[in-house]
Amino acid sequence: MKITVNTIREKLKRTGGCFPCRPGDTEEKKRMCREFKEQISASAYEGYCHCMLYYKSFGD
């Protein structure tokens, strides 16, 4: 998992902070994606975001 996080962080540096998991070059890509924000709003959700940089454990 640490390798995945480090890989994503390197890609963020190369893309100027834009997450590499979503197409386009917008300011919204510089934040946690909307899909994951919606998923974590459910108290029963547990899992990773699309790019596997963020994780929410059950009950957080």
Compute the distance between CA of residue 33 and CA of residue 36 in angstroms, rounded to an integer. Answer: 6
Tokens read off for 4: 């995945």
Tokens 């974590």 — which residue?
Answer: 40
Tokens 């994606």 — which residue?
Answer: 33
Q: Report if pTM > 0.85.
A: no
CA-derived radius of gyration, the chain? 12
pLDDT in tens, the chain (60 residues): 677 788 888 888 887 877 767 666 677 777 778 888 888 888 888 998 887 888 898 765
Of 53, 56, 25, whose CA–CA distance to 17 is shortest?
A: 25
Backbone angles phi, psi at 43, to 5 degrees: -65, -25
